[in-house]
Amino acid sequence: MRWEVRVELKPGVLDAEAESIAKSLALLGIPQVRRVSTARIYDLEFENVDPKEAERLTHDAVDRLLANPVIHHVTVRPRPD
């Protein structure tokens, strides 16, 4: 059983990496990019765990390690095996 966790900065939180990429794209002659944002994707693969428990463990990992609820927006979804 696999779960995908996508962690993005909430609107209004400074995304310095995205700003740097946007500036670099303009310098490279690609100024048409209107907006850049970054995200981290974690692919968690479980074994010997039923789907409901895998989902619970995924949310536990998000809450305890993968994201800060003050600055991050998180999307969790099952992945096909």
pLDDT of the residue at 56? 98
Instruction: Summarize pLDDT for 14-65 with one digit per residue, the tens.
Output: 999 999 999 999 999 999 999 999 999 999 999 999 999 999 999 999 999 9
Instruction: Name the DSSP class of 10.
Output: P
Please name every residue paired with 39 in a beta bridge, in sequence order, or none if there are none: 8
Domain boundaries, the chain: 2-79
The fold of 2-79 is Mth169; Chain: A , (3.30.1280)
Nearest by Cα to 40 from 23, 56, 62, 60: 62
* Residue found under tokens 């609820």: 69
